[in-house]
């Protein structure tokens, strides 16, 4: 099948195998389904081809490809992509100093103009249609990341990183950092939040409590609340980080409390990692409706620990998946599903309780609808259901590694094929709001 088959713009009707989580629970699996996308890029109809013979006859026939909701990467650092794969097993704070801060310091407009479009294409090639991303501390290169996202078509929440305690800012007089950063973040939010008809959103992005004062946390949380924007940060990733937070925030009863006292919790809050939470912290995350970006590959790469994903899900936490590049070497959300499964499965073997491990369809849900929920976008994306925007990917599961796949005939087998036999070029097309993204291979 050539890429010419894939429509570039809505409206269109696709015929394919359909796999999607459903908002009310369970999974949609149709071995021969159709999806009608209207001129505005919204999904108008989803159903079995047999139930709509006329639409099925005129539809663009993608079979045997599988159509799924686009993947959601709830946590990724755009300027860090060049460092992907470096520093395996390094302690977090040392890794940041050695690999991350020099790259982010050098992330000027020219670097962003060069890198961001390549990164968005690579994400689309991996099936990612929505991201929540950190830029660097510089407003002008954050702006460049937005411009590139506007042009590419990916759905993006982006923020300039805020740091006024430990920072790589070698330009701004220390006394001006807080005020400048808060002002320029507000300006970026004014300009981009809700941009491209809501496809672009702003996230106030204090890096973490190690690098921010209480004032920075409080002022950024208050702006996020004011604008209805996301407030994203890192939480409880690593032991030395946790000790530093305890030292910087002696009044806080635990790590989460440093954010709570700043007014950071609530449905706007998106916490990356959240590995080592106490019972109290888990209860407080639940109570406030805050969300978590689970980054299993990063957590293994930097040796941070294992987040108790099943426990969080059982407690009703909103959980999405994040690549956390360059914490992980992979931009693929599917890789998060696979290595996340292995991570949790190997742990469950030790405690002899395999019922606690999410299975393939649970990982598909986490990487799509779970991510949409974590970003507060589940009214708009995350599943193939009427009324949602048509953020879709087409997958060729015959391109798998190792090759020569046998039949996969139900939802669980299809999900397993996708997750455990991922091949880099298995995503053949990706759409946001029915507009095809550049990135997936054209042949
Ligand atoms: N904690 C604070 N900053 C970072 C970062 O850039 N990556 C990761 N993985 N953890 C962090
Ligand atoms: Zn991160």
Strands (E), 262-326: 269-273, 291-294, 318-321
**Residue 369 pLDDT level (bands cut at 50, 70, 90):** very high
| Ligand index nearest the alpha carbon of residue 271 | 2
Which numbered atom of ligand 1 lies nearest the CA of 304? 9
**Cβ(345)–Cβ(354) below 8 Å:** yes
Tokens representing 203?
């996230």
Query: Measured between alpha carbons, how far is 40 from 88 in angstroms, rounded to an integer?
Result: 45
User: pTM above 0.95?
Assistant: yes
Closest CA to 214 of 277, 177, 285, 164: 164
Distance 160 CA to ligand 2 centre (A): 13
- The protein residue whose alpha carbon is closest to atom 3 in ligand 1 is 207
Q: What is the pLDDT of residues 75-115, one digit of tens each?
A: 999 999 999 999 998 999 999 999 999 999 999 999 999 99
Which numbered atom of ligand 1 lies nearest the CA of 295? 9
The stretch 40-56 carries a mean pLDDT of 97
| Pocket lining: 96 vs ligand 1, CB cutoff 6 Å | yes
Q: Examine the pLDDT at 394 and tell me if it is beyond 70.
A: yes
Strand partners, 36: 13, 45
- The protein residue whose alpha carbon is closest to atom 7 in ligand 1 is 327
Which numbered atom of ligand 1 lies nearest the CA of 234? 1
Per-residue confidence (pLDDT) for residue 112, from 0 to 100: 98
Distance 195 CA to ligand 1 centre (A): 27
**Residue 354 pLDDT level (bands cut at 50, 70, 90):** very low
Where b means 16+ CB within 10 Å and e means fewer, 281-292 reads: bbebbeebebbb
Distance 126 CA to ligand 2 centre (A): 19
Per-residue confidence (pLDDT) for residue 129, from 0 to 100: 99
Tokens representing 187?
């300006």
**Cβ(21)–Cβ(362) below 8 Å:** no
Per-residue confidence (pLDDT) for residue 104, from 0 to 100: 98
Closest CA to 290 of 224, 198, 246, 364: 224
| Ligand index nearest the alpha carbon of residue 237 | 1
**Residue 356 pLDDT level (bands cut at 50, 70, 90):** confident
Q: Examine the pLDDT at 1 and tell me if it is beyond 60.
A: no
| Pocket lining: 75 vs ligand 1, CB cutoff 6 Å | no
| Pocket lining: 141 vs ligand 1, CB cutoff 6 Å | no
The stretch 158-165 carries a mean pLDDT of 98
Which bin fits 116, alpha (ψ -120 to 50), beta or left (φ > 0)?
A: alpha
**Cβ(108)–Cβ(53) below 8 Å:** no
Q: Examine the pLDDT at 414 and tell me if it is beyond 80.
A: yes
Q: Residue 256: which H helix or E strand, with range?
A: helix 255-260
Which numbered atom of ligand 1 lies nearest the CA of 302? 9
Distance 234 CA to ligand 1 centre (A): 7
| Pocket lining: 367 vs ligand 1, CB cutoff 6 Å | no
Distance 52 CA to ligand 1 centre (A): 49
Query: Measured between alpha carbons, how far is 305 from 294 in angstroms, rounded to an integer?
Result: 12
How far, rounded to the nearest angstrom, does the alpha carbon of residue 291 sit from its chain's CA centroid?
Answer: 12
The count of residues in the chain is: 443
Tokens representing 182?
């808060």
Omega of the bond leading into 23 within 30 degrees of 0 (cis): no
| Ligand index nearest the alpha carbon of residue 244 | 1
Query: Measured between alpha carbons, how far is 199 from 195 in angstroms, rounded to an integer?
Result: 6
Q: Examine the pLDDT at 428 and tell me if it is beyond 80.
A: yes
Query: Measured between alpha carbons, how far is 148 from 124 in angstroms, rounded to an integer?
Result: 14
The stretch 8-20 carries a mean pLDDT of 98
Q: Examine the pLDDT at 46 and tell me if it is beyond 60.
A: yes
- Residue 115 exposure: Cα atoms within 13 Å on the Cβ side: 22
Distance 76 CA to ligand 1 centre (A): 10
Query: Measured between alpha carbons, how far is 424 from 166 in angstroms, rounded to an integer?
Result: 38
Which numbered atom of ligand 1 lies nearest the CA of 134? 6
**Cβ(364)–Cβ(68) below 8 Å:** yes
Query: Measured between alpha carbons, how far is 247 from 184 in angstroms, rounded to an integer?
Result: 29
* Terminal-residue alpha carbon distance, the chain: 8
Strand partners, 157: 132, 201
Q: What is the 3-state secondary structure (H, E, C) of 223-278?
A: HHHHHCCEEEEEECCCHHHHHHHHHHCCCCCCHHHHHHCCCCCCCCEEEEECCCCC
| Pocket lining: 208 vs ligand 1, CB cutoff 6 Å | yes
Which numbered atom of ligand 1 lies nearest the CA of 80? 6
Can you tell me which residue has the tokens 């936490």?
A: 317
Tell which one of 87, 272, 299, 325 to mutate to probe ligand 1, the residue whose CB is within 8 A of the most ligand atoms: 272
Tokens representing 374?
């974590």
Query: Measured between alpha carbons, how far is 380 from 97 in angstroms, rounded to an integer?
Result: 38
**Alpha-helix runs per DSSP H in 13-88:** 53-58
Burial class (CB in 10 A: 0-12, 13-18, 19+), 346: exposed
Strand partners, 156: 131, 200
| Pocket lining: 100 vs ligand 1, CB cutoff 6 Å | yes
Query: Measured between alpha carbons, how far is 363 from 381 in angstroms, rounded to an integer?
Result: 17
Tell which one of 100, 103, 303 to mutate to probe ligand 1, the residue whose CB is within 8 A of the most ligand atoms: 100
Closest CA to 262 of 223, 301, 317, 319: 223
**Residue 348 pLDDT level (bands cut at 50, 70, 90):** confident
Tokens representing 48?
């079995």
Which numbered atom of ligand 1 lies nearest the CA of 208? 2
């Amino acid at each position: 099948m050539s890429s010419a088959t894939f429509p570039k713009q809505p409206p269109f009707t696709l015929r394919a195998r359909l796999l999607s989580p459903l908002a009310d629970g369970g999974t949609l699996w149709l071995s021969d389904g159709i999806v009608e996308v209207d001129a505005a890029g919204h999904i108008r109809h989803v159903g079995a081809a047999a139930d709509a013979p006329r639409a099925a006859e005129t539809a663009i026939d993608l079979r045997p490809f599988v159509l799924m909701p686009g993947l959601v990467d709830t946590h990724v650092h755009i300027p860090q992509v060049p460092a992907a794969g470096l520093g395996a097993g390094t302690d977090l704070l040392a890794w940041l100093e050695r690999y991350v801060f020099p790259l982010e310091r050098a992330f000027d407009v020219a670097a962003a103009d060069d890198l961001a479009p390549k990164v968005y294409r690579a994400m689309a090639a991996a099936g990612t249609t929505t991201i929540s991303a950190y830029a660097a501390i510089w407003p002008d290169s954050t702006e460049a990341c937005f411009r590139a996202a506007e042009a590419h078509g990916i759905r993006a929440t982006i923020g300039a990183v805020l740091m006024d305690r430990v920072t790589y800012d070698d330009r701004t007089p220390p006394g001006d950092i807080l005020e400048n950063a808060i002002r320029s973040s507000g300006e970026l939010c004014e300009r981009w939040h809700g941009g491209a008809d809501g496809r672009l959103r702003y996230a106030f992005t204090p890096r973490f409590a190690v690098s921010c004062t209480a004032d920075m946390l409080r002022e950024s949380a208050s702006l996020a609340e004011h604008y209805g924007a996301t407030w994203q940060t890192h939480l409880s990733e690593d032991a030395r980080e946790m000790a530093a937070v305890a030292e910087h925030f002696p009044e806080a009863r635990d790590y989460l409390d440093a954010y709570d006292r700043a007014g950071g919790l609530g449905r706007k809050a998106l916490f990356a990692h959240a590995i080592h939470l106490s019972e109290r912290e888990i209860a407080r995350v639940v109570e406030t409706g805050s969300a978590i970006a689970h980054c299993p590959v990063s957590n293994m790469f930097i040796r941070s620990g294992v987040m108790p994903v099943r426990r969080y899900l059982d407690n009703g936490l909103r959980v999405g998946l994040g690549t956390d590049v360059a914490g992980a070497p992979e931009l693929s959300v599917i890789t998060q599903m696979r290595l996340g499964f292995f991570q949790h499965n190997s742990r469950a073997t030790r405690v002899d309780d395999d019922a606690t491990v999410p299975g393939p369809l649970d990982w598909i849900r986490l990487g799509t609808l779970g991510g949409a929920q974590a970003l507060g976008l589940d009214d708009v994306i995350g599943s193939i259901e009427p009324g949602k925007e048509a953020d879709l990917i087409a997958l060729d599961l015959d391109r798998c590694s190792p090759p020569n796949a046998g039949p996969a005939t139900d939802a669980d087998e299809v999900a397993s094929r996708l997750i455990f036999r991922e091949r880099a070029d298995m995503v053949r097309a990706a759409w946001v709001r029915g507009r095809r993204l550049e990135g997936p291979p054209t042949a």
